[in-house]
Amino acid sequence: MQEAGAAAPRFQIAGSRWVAVGHPRVSMPLDRLVGLRGLSAGQAGEATWQWARNGWVIRWPTLSYEISERRLASLVTRWMLLDQSRRRQRPGSGSLPYGKMERKAPNMDADLHGLLGHAPAPFALCGGMAVNYYTAPRFTDDVDLVVLTADAAQWEAFLLASGFTRHEPLSVGGWAYQRGPWEVDVLVTEAAWAPAAVRDAQNNLRDGLPVLPRPWLVYMKLEAGRTVDGADVSRLVGVLPRRQFDDLVRVLDSWLTPEDREDLEAWYALGRWEWGES
């Protein structure tokens, strides 16, 4: 029975697969969750859905294991992208491989750049503009910042006083702010890894602004799990020699789940293959 005030579940178990409700082609093998491998299909299917604050949590009564539907959606998206890429991708990415492309600074408005130079609290540039500092550039017209929950009120007051208007909430937490043609997405987080990531960014200045270091940027993209994030992960890690990739994984080691490690290895292999490296 659905709980009062709860949205409808987004996923169900059908046979041996996770299936998105209303979208039967969006699916993933049930044993994709590494934490459940080794169980029989019957045991793996003994899941219960429980509403917790603002989302469904999937639990197994006989196991000390649970997963949020938001996390499950990310894993399904990643699995589908990787599965399709493995089946369809061919070596090479066109006339200019990623590793040899010029890194370009973000096309940021000078006034906005100056405004961020007077930030009210620590932040880190993330999103597409941050990715463009590390690998083949892609077009993006918004500015993504990650800030700590404790500093969110300061950022709200700062942006409103600077002429921005708050718009819709972000699916990952936080708000989008608009001023003229510019949108600033403030990703607010209280995740345990975030203080170290924002702190490290203060020593990783690009064009005078703190940019999220590559390992933390990769981790944020893994957690977000959208299609564009998967492509960004592949581009971020695919340009690295094996030793540097291993160093990146070691930085994130205590935060990665078994699924994350498998996916990172797959994104790395696909990224290397795409620009003609083994």
Q: pLDDT tens digits, residue range 82-140?
A: 888 777 665 554 444 444 444 444 566 778 888 899 999 999 999 888 998 998 777 77
Between residues 45 and 51, the one the model is more confident about: 51
Name the pairing type of β-strands 124-126 and 142-148.
antiparallel
**215: CATH:** 3.30.460
Classify the C-alpha dihedral 84-89-94-99 as positive or negative.
Answer: positive
Query: Are 119 and 236 part of one and the same domain?
Result: yes
Q: Per-residue confidence at 217, pLDDT binned at 50, 70, 90?
A: very high
Which of 28-42, 61-75, 125-139, 187-201 has the highest mean predicted lDDT (pLDDT)? 187-201
In a domain, 24, yes or no: yes
Query: What is the reported pLDDT for 64?
Result: 81
Total count of domains within the chain: 2
169 lies in the same domain as 60: no
Task: Indicate whether 84 belongs to any domain.
Answer: no
Do both 199 and 261 map to the same domain? yes
Asked if 164 and 246 sit in the same domain, the reply is yes
Domain end (from 49, 68, 87): 68
- Its domain, for residue 57, covers 11-68
Q: Name the least confident of 72-86, 210-224, 244-258.
A: 72-86
Q: What DSSP string runs through 113-176? A: HHHHTT-SS--EEEHHHHHTTTSS-----EEEEEEEGGGHHHHHHHHHHTT-EEEEEPTTSEEE
Greatest Cα pair distance, the chain, in angstroms, is 59
CA 122 to each of CA 74, 110, 161, 171: distance values in angstroms, whole numbers, following the listed order: 28, 20, 18, 22
Secondary structure (3-state) at 207:
coil
Is 198 within 8 Å of 123 (Cβ atoms)?
yes
Q: What pLDDT sits at residue 37?
A: 77
Report the pLDDT value the prediction gives residue 101, as an integer from 0 to 100.
47
- Residue 239 tokens read as 């340009």
Same domain for 105 and 31: no
Q: Return the minimum-mean-pLDDT range out of 61-65, 70-74, 120-124, 174-178.
A: 61-65
Helix (H, G, I), strand (E, B) or coil at 169: strand
In the chain, % of residues over pLDDT 70: 89
